[in-house]
Amino acid sequence: MVNFQQNKIHSKLLRRRLLCKSVSEFNVSTLGKINNRKSSEWNVSINDNLLFDFSGLQAIAESIRQYQGRATELRFKLALSTEAIRDYYSHSRYLDDDGNIKLPLIANLCQHVKINKAAQVETLTVKLPEIRTPIDYPVSLMPAAINSTPLALLMPYTCDHDLLFANQISLFSMLAKTVKKSAKAWIKTVFSRTPTAFRKRLPLKWNRIHPSANIHKTAVIEGSVIGPGCQIGALSVIRFSMLGSNVQLRDGAKIEFSIVDDNTWLMHDLVLVSSVTEQEVFLINGPYQFSIFQQASAAFATIMMDYRPDGKSHRINTPAGVKDYQGRLLGALLEENAKVLGGTLLAPSVTVPQDTHIAPEIDNIVTAKKLIKANVKADKSAR
């Protein structure tokens, strides 16, 4: 048997969120589910900066159970497809020259089973299941490609962009683990007439909706979690996403592959794709894609670029300096209480610092006074 423990959380993660929970709450809950009271042969110490979910720790436990060597200490590295490394780990300082991720956790053999074991260290390779999806992009954007998302979370935290990637992985990990156990979703899928493959229809037929949520009859909800007190307006679309408590979606808002945390407002006809909002975020207009909005941040009619037409790497600000990110699309990071006002254009992968307010140059803003002066001048010219 294997026992996992994490003695503390990295200070930078104390205010961050995973699937609408604090990282500390998420981790404690996960450890409570994976550990049991039976005698353990191995103790696994998790470093304070590792982001993980139940499926990720299961993969570690399984690699230990299959181990037949004589070492008393085990280290771990994560092996994923080239596409998964590109989109989720390519900026990480834990990425080695062989394309593997060094995981910050160590397994030690318990004292009572060390008899006839050599005191040596070995490194095990952990492989995670992935969901691979071909995407036929328009040639005007980029060549066709494969998207591959791990279905288990094991991600060393190096910067706040990792919370965007970790939330996306843990969302699909949760869906993969939960949907296949839903008898209701299976029945709906069997009797649906949609001309798509069964495995694609099944997750669309699954939802977890809190009874206190107020959802307009014209809203479309597929493969998503809707928390208590949410208000979902007419013609809204929520697909493969999670909403926390008291989220406000105004009429026509559309969300895909995203996490929307407690008390967030998404205004009319807004589009949010592959993004994460923490609590108390306000977004209007958009679209907003591949971006992360920390607590109490806001964007008003802002254009957030997520695509580099020159094909060069995105650049991410990290505590260790600027790092190259090889993924094809990456939007902005708005830190806590950052606000970006209407008419602003943000470059791909830019970070807006905490408490920063960004607006267009004042000379470019048309005020009533400027408009009156322009009209008076035009009137005089006409005479």
Q: Under a CB-based contact definition with an 8 Å cutoff, are residues 141 and 196 in contact?
A: no
Question: What are the backbone angles phi and psi of residue 132, rounded to the nearest 5°?
Answer: -110, 130
Residue 187: phi and psi, rounded to 5, are: -65, -45
Q: How confident is the model at residue 193 (pLDDT cuts 50, 70, 90)?
A: low
pLDDT score for 182: 72
Classify residue 161 as exposed, middle or buried by CB count within 10 Å of its CB (0-12, 13-18, 19+).
buried
Largest Cα–Cα distance of the chain, in whole Å? 104
* Strand, coil or helix: 279: coil
Q: Is the Cα torsion angle 363, 364, 368, 374 positive or negative in sign?
A: positive
**Cis? peptide before 287, omega within 30° of 0:** yes
The DSSP secondary-structure symbol of 162 reads: H
Provide DSSP, 292-314: EE-TT-EEES-EE--B-TT-PPE
Our separate counts of H helices and E strands in the chain read: 7, 36
Q: Supply the pTM of this predicted model.
A: 0.90
* pLDDT: which is higher, 197 or 205: 205
Cβ(50)–Cβ(157) below 8 Å: yes
- pLDDT attached to residue 334: 97
Segment (H or E) for 31: helix 23-34
The gap from C-alpha 162 to its chain's centroid, in whole angstroms, comes to: 8
Locate tokens 């009874």: which residue?
211
CA 46 to chain centre: 21
pLDDT band at 241 (very low <50, low <70, confident <90, very high): very high
Q: Which residues contact 379 (CB under 8 A, 6 or more apart)?
A: none
Residue 264 has pLDDT above 80, yes or no: yes
Specify the pLDDT at position 118. 65
pLDDT single digits (tens) 329-347 = 999 999 999 999 988 899 9
Whole-number percent of the chain with pLDDT over 90: 71
Q: Are 163 and 292 in contact (CB under 8 A)?
A: yes
pLDDT of residue 102: 97
| Mean pLDDT for the stretch of residues 135-145 | 88
Task: Kindly write down the DSSP assignment for every residue of 321-332, as one continuous string.
Answer: EEEEE--SB---
Q: What is the pLDDT of residues 335-378, one digit of tens each?
A: 999 999 988 899 999 999 999 999 887 666 665 555 566 565 55
Helix (H) or strand (E) holding 105: strand 101-109
Gyration radius (Cα) of the chain, Å: 24
Token pair belonging to 238: 């929520």
Q: What is the mean pLDDT of residues 169-189?
A: 82
**Degrees, nearest 5: CA angle 61-65-71:** 105
The pair of three-digit structure tokens given for residue 51, joined into one six-digit string: 């982001």
